[in-house]
Amino acid sequence: MGIAEIKKEIGMDAPELREGERSETFRNGGASIPAMAPVAGIVDPEVDSKARRRQFSAAYKRRILDEAEKGGSGAVAGLLRREGLYSSHLTTWRKQRESGELAGLEPRRRGKKPAPKNPLAREVHRLELENRRLQKRLRQAEIIIDVQKKLCDVLGLTVPPIEQSEDDE
């Protein structure tokens, strides 16, 4: 689609050409396309305020490596331009693939690695909570027994001895 067709589509008439004039009106000061006109293939030039690190999936890396291997040197350059990649990406991804690092094709999280979880940690936590609950009930029971003993002393009642099991020793 040429400039003349775009101008007609958006409602701008091109000025008439006189003998000896060039047809490139956008270069010689003639009517031009308005800045807000939608033109296919133009990417929004606005940049995000905060830069963000790109992450590529393993499937994407494999697809790009396969495409790069199928094409020649010119095809690789076109692929890199089209995808917005650098040749160092291909070099790194090839090394990772050759060394058999399947995890190397996945983006890695940066920073401190989380500590591995112990499979028994949940059970230990549950038992600690149960232990605290039972200790609290034991303190309450001891207070109640102590009050009952004092009440028996005040009333002059005799308290039968408590039989102790072998586990209490």
Q: Where are the domains of the chain?
A: 1-39, 58-105
Higher-pLDDT residue of 5, 29: 5
For residue 66, the SS3 value is helix
The whole-angstrom separation of Cα 72 and Cα 69 is 8
Per DSSP, 92 falls in state: H
- Answer yes or no: is pLDDT of 81 > 80: yes
Burial category of 36 from C-beta neighbours within 10 Å (exposed 0-12, middle 13-18, buried 19 and up): exposed
Contact criterion met (CB below 8 Å) for 105 and 62:
yes
Higher-pLDDT residue of 93, 7: 93
The whole-angstrom separation of Cα 42 and Cα 36 is 11
The confidence score (pLDDT) of residue 88 equals 93
The whole-angstrom separation of Cα 59 and Cα 105 is 8
Q: What is the mean pLDDT of residues 59-79?
A: 86
Contact criterion met (CB below 8 Å) for 97 and 65:
yes
Q: How far is CA 82 from the centre of its chain?
A: 24
